[in-house]
């Protein structure tokens, strides 16, 4: 005859049931805690507090500001026109490389802050005109080291219009456009303002001149350099009413 296992005594059953209930409660509490923790954490690990800006997504105003600053520090970004071209992104990369930043062609917070600071302080950072530009040694439009390609003729002005007293900033990449710029009246004639001869600095030249008072306005004047073709080395500047 097979022996049957003795049934748990009442006090043993009570202890076992209590243990099962306690375990179930602890498991439920652990699940609730984990769920609440998950709900409270809404952060996206892929989200960053400061996103890098791509020139392809930038507004026209942003592009104009970047082009102006890049040209001012000697990193040629093309005309300050707010239009995206290959020169702008190449200039950002050239600036990043010169400053020891991550070279990605994006205007992240670090690059943008550094560029704005260098432009405000008048620092020349780049060697001028990208890797294809060969710097001359004598200025004055000497093209012996720059045979006449488009990289030789790089001049920018900022702003492109203004009233009496406006300071015009001129940047010339050394090569075919000389080393001096002047403000000439409509139709040509004697200059009415000049940057004077600029000292070369790291492949580019930077100078300023002020729009004089009491000249005819509104009129379109010309910022012209002392060398190079007019089609490449001269820029329009509108003098508005003072």
Considering the domain architecture, whether residues 62 and 114 belong to the same structural domain is answered as yes
- Choose among 234, 152, 147: nearest CA to 188: 234
Considering the domain architecture, whether residues 180 and 104 belong to the same structural domain is answered as no
**Residue 18 belongs to some domain of the structure:** no
pLDDT of residue 139: 35
pLDDT of residue 212: 95
Residue 60 token pair: 């026209």
Considering the domain architecture, whether residues 229 and 170 belong to the same structural domain is answered as yes
Residue 226 has pLDDT above 70, yes or no: yes
Considering the domain architecture, whether residues 170 and 223 belong to the same structural domain is answered as yes
**Residue 27 belongs to some domain of the structure:** no
Residue 82 token pair: 């707010």
Residue 94 token pair: 């050239």
Q: Which residues of 35-67 are buried (b: 16+ CB within 10 A; e: fewer)?
A: eeeeeeeeeeeeeeeeeebebeebeeeebbbbb
Considering the domain architecture, whether residues 183 and 225 belong to the same structural domain is answered as yes
pLDDT of residue 182: 96
CATH number at residue 84: 1.10.101.10
**Residue 5 belongs to some domain of the structure:** no
**Residue 87 belongs to some domain of the structure:** yes
Q: How far apart are CA 235 and CA 239, in angstroms?
A: 13
Strand partners, 236: 222
- Choose among 224, 197, 183, 196: nearest CA to 138: 197
Considering the domain architecture, whether residues 115 and 190 belong to the same structural domain is answered as no
pLDDT of residue 15: 66
Q: What is the pLDDT of residues 168-186, one digit of tens each?
A: 999 887 667 888 999 999 9
Residue 131 has pLDDT above 50, yes or no: no
Q: What is the pLDDT of residues 55-79, one digit of tens each?
A: 667 788 888 888 888 877 878 777 7
More confident residue, 88 or 20: 88
Matching residue, tokens 């600071």: 117
C-beta neighbour count of 130 within 10 angstroms? 19
Considering the domain architecture, whether residues 159 and 235 belong to the same structural domain is answered as yes
Strand partners, 221: 237
**Residue 132 belongs to some domain of the structure:** no
Considering the domain architecture, whether residues 58 and 108 belong to the same structural domain is answered as yes
**Residue 2 belongs to some domain of the structure:** no
**Residue 62 belongs to some domain of the structure:** yes
Q: Are 208 and 174 in contact (CB under 8 A)?
A: no
Q: Are 62 and 116 in contact (CB under 8 A)?
A: no
Considering the domain architecture, whether residues 174 and 109 belong to the same structural domain is answered as no
Tally of domains within the chain: 2
Q: Are 126 and 203 in contact (CB under 8 A)?
A: yes
Q: Which domain holds residue 230?
A: 150-239
Residue 118 has pLDDT above 80, yes or no: yes
pTM for the model: 0.43
CATH number at residue 227: 2.60.40.1930
**Residue 181 belongs to some domain of the structure:** yes
Q: How far apart are CA 163 and CA 169, in angstroms?
A: 14
pLDDT of residue 119: 83
């Amino acid at each position: 005859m097979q022996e049957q296992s003795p049934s748990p005594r009442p006090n043993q059953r009570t202890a076992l049931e209590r243990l099962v209930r306690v375990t179930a409660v602890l498991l439920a509490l652990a699940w609730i805690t984990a769920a609440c923790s998950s709900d409270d954490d809404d952060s996206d690990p892929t989200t960053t507090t400061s996103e890098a800006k791509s020139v392809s997504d930038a507004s026209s105003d942003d592009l104009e500001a970047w082009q102006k600053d890049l040209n001012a520090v000697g990193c040629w970004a093309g005309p300050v026109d707010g239009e995206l071209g290959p020169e702008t992104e190449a200039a950002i990369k050239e600036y990043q490389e010169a400053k020891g930043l991550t070279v990605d062609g994006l205007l992240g917070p670090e690059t943008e802050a550094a560029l704005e600071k260098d432009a405000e302080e008048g620092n020349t950072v780049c060697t001028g005109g990208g890797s294809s530009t060969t710097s001359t040694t004598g200025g004055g439009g000497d093209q012996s080291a720059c045979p006449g390609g488009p990289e030789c003729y790089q001049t920018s002005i900022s702003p492109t219009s203004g009233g009496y007293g406006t300071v015009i900033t001129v940047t010339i990449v050394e090569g075919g456009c000389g080393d001096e710029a002047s403000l000439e009246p409509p139709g040509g004639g004697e200059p009415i303002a000049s940057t004077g001869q600029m000292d070369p600095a790291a492949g580019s030249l930077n100078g300023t001149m002020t729009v004089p008072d009491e000249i005819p306005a509104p009129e379109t004047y010309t910022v012209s350099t002392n060398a190079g073709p007019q089609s490449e080395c001269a820029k329009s500047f509108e003098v508005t009413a003072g």
